Amino acid sequence: MPQGLRQLVTAAILLSFAITPCTGLAQQAEATLKKFLQQYEGPLASSSTTKYISALVDLNGDGKQEVIAYLLGPEWCGSGGCTMLVLAPQGSSFKVITRMTISNPPIRVLDTKTNGWRDLTVHVSGGGISGYDAKLSFNGKKYPSNPSVPPARKLQGKTAGDDIIPSLDNATPLYP
């Protein structure tokens, strides 16, 4: 294959992995995420009820994909929504960038950036809140931990981005 064509094919393959649902992860990577979530979860959660949905996306443009994990179950959800984690790869595991409460799908990664990281949106509803999409911007260290109060803000109009967790349809049990 000519060098120019090889580079073009390689670029196309890399671009196709810019945003990847974790269902496309290699088994080892999926096992690493599951192990991290099981350890993060701790003794509070019931193994029979906790599920998760996750997606990979390079949020900060460093070529490494961060993980957005949405946890479901009585220990992780309330009347306003469930817990979402933004995780960065760290060695053979992850570190928590943000733990966000009361979030709901659709979860989107926007084309806009703040402090070098892509903005996120989650749907905020329930618990007496009239539903809306909240824009979450990175402050240099983390994203807001509660999408219903500042610095999170109500998204105004349509904003370009990608649905990474559109619904709760593909939740995976955290334990077999």
How many helices (H) and strands (E) the chain has is answered by: 2, 11
pLDDT value, residue 145:
95
- pLDDT tens, position by position, 144-154: 999 999 898 98
Strand 81-90 vs strand 172-173: parallel, antiparallel, or unpaired?
unpaired
15: which DSSP letter? H
Question: Residue 151 carries which DSSP code?
Answer: T
Task: Give the span between the Cα atoms of 164 and 176, in whole angstroms.
Answer: 24
Per-residue pLDDT of 156-173, as tens digits, reads 887 889 999 999 988 999
pLDDT, one tens digit per residue, over 88-128 is 999 889 999 999 999 999 999 999 999 999 999 999 987 67
pTM, 2 dp = 0.81
Structure token pair of residue 41: 């979860």
Q: In angstroms, rounded to a whole number, what is the distance separating the alpha carbons of residues 152 and 145?
A: 9
Structure tokens at 160: 């370009």
Return the residue matching tokens 């809306």.
132
